[in-house]
Amino acid sequence: MDAIKVLIVDDEAAVLRSVTRALRKESYIIEATSSPLEALECVRKQTYAVVLSDHMMPEMRGTDLLRQVRKVSPDTVRIILTGHADSHTLEQAVNEGEIYRFLAKPWDDGHMRRLIRQSVEQHGLSRENRRLQTLTEQQNQELQRANATLEARVQERTAHIEALNADLRESFVGALKGMASLVDAHSRVIGSHSRRVASLARDLARRLGLAEADVFDTFAAAVLHDVGKIGADDHGGAGLEQAAEHAVRGETIVGRVAGLRAAARLVRHHHENVDGSGGPDGQQHEQIPLGARIIAVANAYDNALNGADTFEDADAAAVLEQLNSLVEKSLDRRVLGELKVLLAETGQLSRDQHQAEVGPEDLQAGMRLLREVRTVSGRLLLAAGTTIQSQQLASFRRFQATDPVVEAILVTRRRHSGKA
């Protein structure tokens, strides 16, 4: 296996040293340069899994550098290191396919290491996909040369192509989820809000009879429904006005990505209300695309169930009662009814212990663990059944800097006082 190389570009020597030090225990070859031009020359001569570049540099902007890196080495995963990740920068980068993620200054070393690991995995996946695409083209050419009447060979090749397409779709979904993690970093909701909303919206779309292509558009829009919030001024405008602005901004960003224009329309309308009081267009009832109505219900449910201020006391049944008051005002009655049936069938309305998966960053004192917690290296940090105390939480935070926990943590919602 070839050595995995990571290239760091920043005009500040202190930043280069800090990043290199943060990654010193990883099994990568780390190279660093303060010159974007030198970085381009390195990329022309060697294969890098990841290029992490500062954005504001006197010699060349990071987005311009990564655009050229993409031309030279399309599979290299490109990350911007910046303290100025505004919505225009994000939209430009997404439109031109320049970057995989943003990393804000100052960064958390543990988060950086996880991001680099994910990027290395993405690089391997991209190269494998390219290999599979080349292989598919070669095999299709062989198939054309073969006797078209050999039905068995045709069927075998068709099945293989479908499998490759499934792999490519899975890679695309992975990229969407990577973008969602950036959105969730700005959320007041515990854990992976965008992923939960997307999963719930996909299930509801299938239950409501949408075609599989429309199911995917609904899923993609749900993953990215809050992308318009990135870089926005959270203090400007009234609630409905602000939501409408986020939706329009999100439509613009998502609509620039090839294959997501239908999903972009759903992002635009997911803050419409069925009584016409929402935005940005004041649509009502059937005027609102069904996919957008589905996302609205899934989003409202997850916000109420997993909000940072209500997380410990919320449960599915109570949240549904709360959402009932919004029927025919903001939420679609048929979609909410289907959500009730789905939750009942999956047992989420009758659990004695209201379970939830939270990210390591969302762990709080008073939460009770339903399964053990281990670090990346396999070290057992917390046993199942533990109710987190303040001193344990402090120790947990220290481990995150050197030997982090990256898997979701399963907890009960309510604080426990000695009861099993």
Instruction: List, for residues 204-238, the tens digit of each pLDDT value.
Output: 999 999 999 999 999 999 988 988 887 665 544 44
Give SS3 for 357.
strand
The region that residue 267 occupies, defined by phi over 0 for left and psi between -120 and 50 for alpha, beta otherwise, is alpha
Q: Give the three-class secondary structure for 319.
A: helix
| CB neighbourhood size of 286 (10 A) | 10
Residues in the chain: 420
Instruction: Tell me the two tokens of residue 249.
Output: 């901004």
Q: What is the pLDDT, as a whole number, of residue 161?
A: 58
Q: Are 38 and 55 in contact (CB under 8 A)?
A: no
Burial degree of 238 (CB within 10 A; 0-12, 13-18, 19+): exposed
Strand 355-358 to 368-369 pairing? unpaired
- The two tokens of residue 417 are 């006082």
What is the side-by-side strand order in the sheet with 101-104?
29-33, 5-9, 50-54, 77-82, 101-104
In the sheet where 368-369 sits, what is the strand order? 355-358, 409-412, 368-369
Q: How far apart are CA 219 and CA 156, in angstroms?
A: 30
The token pair at 411 is 């907890």
Q: How far is CA 116 from CA 5, 10, 100, 203, 357, in A?
A: 11, 16, 11, 32, 24
The 10 Å Cβ neighbour count of residue 68 is 17
Distance separating alpha carbons of residues 183 and 69, to the nearest angstrom: 25
Question: Which pair of tokens denotes residue 203?
Answer: 């299930």
- What distances in angstroms separate CA 67 from CA 112, 156, 176, one per listed residue? 22, 39, 20
Longest Cα separation, the chain = 74
* Local confidence pLDDT in tens for the 420 residues of the chain: 578 999 999 999 999 999 999 998 888 999 999 999 999 999 999 999 999 999 888 889 888 899 999 999 999 999 988 776 565 666 666 566 578 888 888 889 999 999 999 989 988 888 888 888 888 888 877 777 666 565 665 566 666 555 555 554 555 556 666 666 666 665 667 667 888 898 899 999 999 999 999 999 999 999 889 888 876 655 444 477 888 888 998 899 888 877 788 999 999 999 999 999 998 999 989 999 999 999 999 999 988 888 777 776 778 888 899 999 999 899 999 999 999 999 888 777 765 456 777 777 778 888 888 888 888 778 888 888 888 888 888 888 888 878 887 677 888 765 444 343
Domains of the chain: 5-117 (3.40.50.2300), 185-345 (1.10.3210.10), 355-412 (3.90.105)
**Contacts of 332 by beta carbon, 8 Å cutoff, 6+ apart:** 274, 285, 288, 293, 294, 296, 297
Q: What pLDDT shows up at residue 13?
A: 93
Residue given tokens 């609904």 in the structure block: 218
351 vs 343, 348, 357, 359, 408, CA distance in Å?
11, 6, 15, 22, 20
Q: What are 179's two structure tokens?
A: 């973008």
